[in-house]
Amino acid sequence: MILRSDYRASDFLLDRIELHVSVEALTTVEAWLHLRRRPGADPAASLVLDGRGIELLSIELDGTPIAPSGYRIEPEQLVVPAVPDAFVLRTLTRNDPEKNTVLEGWYRSGPMLCTQCEAQGFSRITYALDRPDVLSRFRVRLEAETARYPVLLANGNCVESGDAGPGRHYAVWEDPHPKPCYLFAMVAGDLACVEGRHRTPSGRDVALRFYVDRGNENRVAHAMESLRKAMQWDESVYGLEYDLDIYMVVAARDFNMGAMENKGLNLFNARFVLASPQTATDVDYDGVESVIAHEYFHNWTGNRVTCRDWFQLSLKEGLTVYRDQCFSADLGSRDVTRIEHVRTLRALQFPEDAGPTAHPVRPDAYAEVNNLYTATVYEKGAEILRMLASVIGEETFVAGIGHYLKQHDGTAATVEDLLASLEAVSGQKLDGFRRWYSQSGTPSVEITDEYDAAEGRYTLRLRQHTAPTHDQAQKTVLPIPLRFSLRDDDGQLLQLSPQPPLMPRADLILLEAAEAELRFDNIESRPTPAFLHGFSAPVKLQYAYTPDALSALVLNEEDGFLRWEASQRLMFDALFETMNGEPGEHSRMLLHTLQVLAANPPADKALLAELLRLPAESELAAQIEPLDPHAVTRARDGLRHAIAQALTGPLSVWAAWMPTDLSPENRARRSLSNLALWYLGHLNSARIRKLALERAHSPNMSLAIGGLAALRDSDSAEREEAMDAFHLRFRDEPLVLDKWFAMEAASARPAGLERVTALLTHPDFKPNPNRTRAVLGTFMRENLRSFHAPDGGGYRLLATELAKIDAGNPQLAARLVEGLLGWRRLVPALGEHMRAALEQLAQAGPSRDVAEKIGKALESRPTA
């Protein structure tokens, strides 16, 4: 177990790394490490380098070979006991990228060889100090066959290239900026290049180069435009320009993550680069824009200033997620963007905070570093920064980030460094927010109110509480910024005056104690409160809204997020009502509200779609304990049917829309139209099935997927025709075929378990991360009926497949095993089946990645 409290700076600094990489049947790496002892380090300390899965062929110190007795190879390390204070260590190693299935280090992806070095993949390429607080300048000579690998890339600028003997060539790349080795990248492949340009405000021209499989050149335009927009946004909002002559992006077929921000040479999962209206949905377009921006923003928040150790991961990831969220909000519908981000937070991070793998945004310990890449570190980390921006003000926050980058440029920093800069610029003490980084769990805020008509006084009472989590029995209070408003009987906003420190602004409560009370005088009638505007804090809010009050918020509130929140609350209440008996007051109010909304829709059709959209089954399941998944699916199906019947008229009008262009207005219309067709699909009429079939054949991928979604759970000839035609049409399009596999895996039709088993042996199934996630990830998240089969067959299937995946790709297996960790939340019969499947996997000799999560799930106890 690695502990944050054990952090110690490296005994050695690695100023420069020179690599000669020769790609043949195997890859040989000749490395010159320019090392010196850190001032103040132990003068007798041995040199300990990291290395995994590589073969050492020779080793020299300052040009003199080291005898075998002068070093030792240990598991994952090379130790050289006696070294001077400054020296050059040369190593010659060999590795086999063709057999590298973990997709870390140097590996094959389709027609190319590429790298993935975060968090500790560089040590699978050569021996080095593989830690983020050791920054080095790199010079790389990459040599390979000219015909097979005409493109040779690495970080920085290409300073030399030429022939390297018969049929071979080389390229030399030099990066002037010091960086930790997790940001190293190189690529050798037969790739097409799409080039663009960007001019910075200071007048520098930057070449923008996207490298993709040949034939995909016409699917890069959106990614290129997204990159330009991200560069312009960072220049205008944060005053940050790009600092190299070339910015390169390479799209890889096989990639464990979404993308990687290697300095000047980003490696991307191809699904976050390639997009055309014929092959990518509107959601895919948004994903490309967001991920392109995220990795670009890392150039400053992650690369120029990196993290001291992996416990500080949220320092770069939380900050960069917050920045890319702000970018997306500025470019699109601010309300809808925020809704999407909160939905992700609640679907992924809230359950993590409540489950066996709960951990703080800055953890205190880990067994496997790859398990630190979580929704808590990323999404909750971003929410902490959003709260800070809310408290000190957006402009001050941006200035604080500028101060932080200037103070720590070219270094490895900590969370304390960031908070110190925000304090220095704002003049405010932000000590309380440090606790957000150290405490796990999702706080609950309970609010009650009272109105004294005789005195004209309205009182709010607030109480915060964070339940114990498996890793922390004791919790402390946190600073919680609650944006709020009060409206009178006519729906008009009441003009309030600040009451510092509890209410520092007229629209903001800063709850810093376990309990607090606010009084408002001269209030003529009982007001209607609204809390958490824009979801100003990652908390669970408890306030006893009546169905009438929720309906009023849906129909009249100006804040789009609050409208959606009220709509979701009405839907949740109606579903719980149905699960506990018959539809009642909440169900009737929901249907009435949606009918009024449909008759008087907001101008933003994308927002309208969100207000009408039912929570996903997985979102509902996260709210219930003990969970009976089958009761959830029955209740949701019933409510979907009731809404379809109550809104048949407007839904039919919207479902007929089939716009195909990419304008924001028509993207919003497609979202609403697809949702309308999905609702109507539950009525199972021949007319709707025909419309869905027609849509499934659309040349626009968003519409085609909408048609398939409406037919997905149907036992009909139209469904079979649509699915078969889609498969035939896109059989040679890997990213689109992933959608077909996912659609089949999610289908609620009978024999779902058999269908998923068949998908895993389908001739077109490829065991790469994207296809595996499309089948198994979709199955466990979106197919509650089959995954939670009463006999536990779904759990056993997942455990069996995970054992196979884990043998080759532990990182992927560790992501998917999360589907088996929540066994204590299930009704007892299902919980025992899931626990048995987890123990089955535990006995299969899992990797460290998977074993850490299994151990926590089997050892954890229910929280109070």
Residues carrying an active site annotation? 295
Q: What is the 3-state secondary structure (H, E, C) of 69-86?
A: HHCEEECCEEEECCCCCE
CA distance 37 to 35: 7
* Residue 155 near residue 261 (C-beta atoms within 8 A): no
* Residue 688 near residue 677 (C-beta atoms within 8 A): yes
367 dihedral zone (left: phi>0; alpha: psi -120 to 50; beta): alpha
Please list the alpha-helical segments (H only) found in 559-647: 560-579, 585-599, 605-612, 617-621, 629-646
CA distance 322 to 345: 12
Residues 6+ apart with CB under 8 A from 181: 17, 117, 122, 123, 128, 129, 130, 134, 136
Query: DSSP assignment, residue 364?
Result: S
Burial 439-469 (b: 16+ CB within 10 A, else e): bbbbbebebebeeeeeeeebebebbbebebb
DSSP three-state, residue 784: helix
DSSP three-state, residue 202: coil
Residues 6+ apart with CB under 8 A from 751: none
* Residue 814 near residue 846 (C-beta atoms within 8 A): no
Torsion of CA 420, 424, 427, 432, to 10 degrees: 0
Please list the alpha-helical segments (H only) found in 180-275: 221-233
* Residue 667 near residue 609 (C-beta atoms within 8 A): no
State the CB neighbour count (10 A cutoff) for residue 429.
9
Query: DSSP assignment, residue 507?
Result: T
Among residues 735, 734, 739, the alpha carbon closest in space to that of 723 is found at 739
CA distance 239 to 696: 45
Strand partners, 12: 37
Counting Cα atoms < 13 Å in the Cβ hemisphere of 317 gives 22
Query: DSSP assignment, residue 493?
Result: B
For the sheet containing 105-109, what is the strand order? Answer: 105-109, 112-116, 186-189, 151-154
- Chain centre distance of CA 637: 29
CA distance 39 to 121: 28
- Chain centre distance of CA 510: 28
DSSP three-state, residue 133: coil
Q: Is the preceding peptide bond at 626 cis, omega within 30 degrees of 0?
A: yes
Amino acid at 222: H
**Residue in the structure block whose two tokens are 């049929």:** 167
CA distance 130 to 180: 8
CA distance 442 to 466: 6
The DSSP H or E segment spanning 153 is strand 151-154
- Chain centre distance of CA 25: 36
